[in-house]
Amino acid sequence: MAYQCEECGYSVTRRNSLCEDWNDEDRSFGCPECGTFYRRVGKSLKSGNIGGLLGAGVGTPTVILFGYGLQTDDKLVLLLSGVVLLSLLGLLALTSSKIGVTYQPSGYRVDIDSSGSQE
Ligand SMILES: [Zn+2]
């Protein structure tokens, strides 16, 4: 997963990132281009919880309805519950994709140029 540096726009990944100290979260992920360090922050799971609640609240009766449609061979019920389930899955995919790890400037920064072999 690449993170675009807020300072210079460089794509920082786990592979090319600067690391001064793995034990210090403020200094373990830095932009190799400008030396700005970022801290890993877990995003709030609130939207995920809402998605989960919605999924359980709407999904469960829809699955029951779908089962009912299968039993009675009611095509309309099958179609409607299928559409609801599909859109619900899409919604869940959307909300869960927003949850994840992001980075914010840790306040720590190194001077890249001074450590280079220029001059
Ligand atoms: Zn940068």
Q: Is residue 25 included in any domain, yes or no? A: yes
Burial 45-67 (b: 16+ CB within 10 A, else e): eeebeebeeebeeebeebeebbe
Q: Is residue 22 included in any domain, yes or no? A: yes
Q: Is residue 117 included in any domain, yes or no? A: no
What spacing in Å lies between the alpha carbon of 54 and ligand 1's midpoint? Answer: 39
Q: Is residue 89 included in any domain, yes or no? A: yes
Q: Which of 45, 49, 32 is nearest to 102 (CA)?
A: 45
pLDDT at 14 over 90: no
Number of domains in the chain: 1
For residue 85, what are the domain limits? 3-112
Q: Is residue 104 included in any domain, yes or no? A: yes
What spacing in Å lies between the alpha carbon of 27 and ligand 1's midpoint? Answer: 14
Average pLDDT rounded to a whole number, residues 21-27: 91
More confident residue, 1 or 12: 12
What spacing in Å lies between the alpha carbon of 24 and ligand 1's midpoint? Answer: 19
- 0.85 cut: is pTM over it? no
Q: Is residue 119 included in any domain, yes or no? A: no
Structure tokens at 91: 């919604």
Q: pLDDT by residue (tens digit) across 61-108? A: 888 888 988 899 889 988 998 998 888 888 777 766 666 677 889 999
Give the number of other CB atoms < 10 A from CB of residue 88. Answer: 16
pLDDT at 26 over 60: yes
What is the C-alpha separation between 14 and 16, in angstroms, rounded?
6
Structure tokens at 33: 């281009």
Query: pLDDT band at 118, cuts 50/70/90?
Result: very low
